[in-house]
Structure formats: structure tokens, C-alpha cells
Amino acid sequence: MMAAAIQIQVNGEQRDCRAGATVGDLLRELAIKTERVAVELNLEILDRKDFDHRSLKPGDRVEILSFIGGGSLVGDGKGTD
């Protein structure tokens, strides 16, 4: 028997999630590698080690922030921006 779905919000969008799922389950479902993200659950920034221990509840708000290596220059370098 399949677990019931709950409604959560991920990066501002409503999403169904399996009842009893953890933050880690959500990241795996979204194919997001945990090494390069920060996750905020209901305005609390989570420690990476807690991802698999924090259960999601109906109405939870999850913000997933990705870190991108390297960086880029702002503007065109000509001083016109």
C-alpha cells in the first residue's frame, strides 16, 4: 500500500510529497546532490547531516539553494554597467 501524499512548497511551488518523506528523500526524488546545496525548512537552515532525519509535514516550506563553483564576472568588463 502506498503512503498518502502531502502538500509542501518547494522553492515557492506547490508539490506533492510522500507522507513520511524526509528532506533527504525529497532531494533524491529531485535528483539534487546534497554536497552542493543548502536547504531551508520553514525558515530554518538545516545542517546537511540532518537531511535524512527531518521529516516533511503538510504545509512545510522548503527552499533549496544550489552553490555553483567557479563564479562569473558581472557586466562586460568595459565599465559601462
CA dihedral defined by 34, 40, 69, 81, rounded to 10 degrees? 160
The answer to whether the CB of 9 falls within 8 A of the CB of 60 is: yes
Q: Are 47 and 78 in contact (CB under 8 A)?
A: no
Q: Which three cell numbers stand for residue 42?
A: 520553514
pTM above 0.85, yes or no: no
Sequential pLDDT tens for the chain (81 residues): 456 899 999 999 999 999 999 999 999 999 999 888 999 999 999 999 999 999 999 999 999 998 776 655 555 455 544
- Dihedral (Cα; 7, 28, 40, 59), 10-degree rounding: 10
- What pLDDT is stored for residue 54 in this prediction? 97
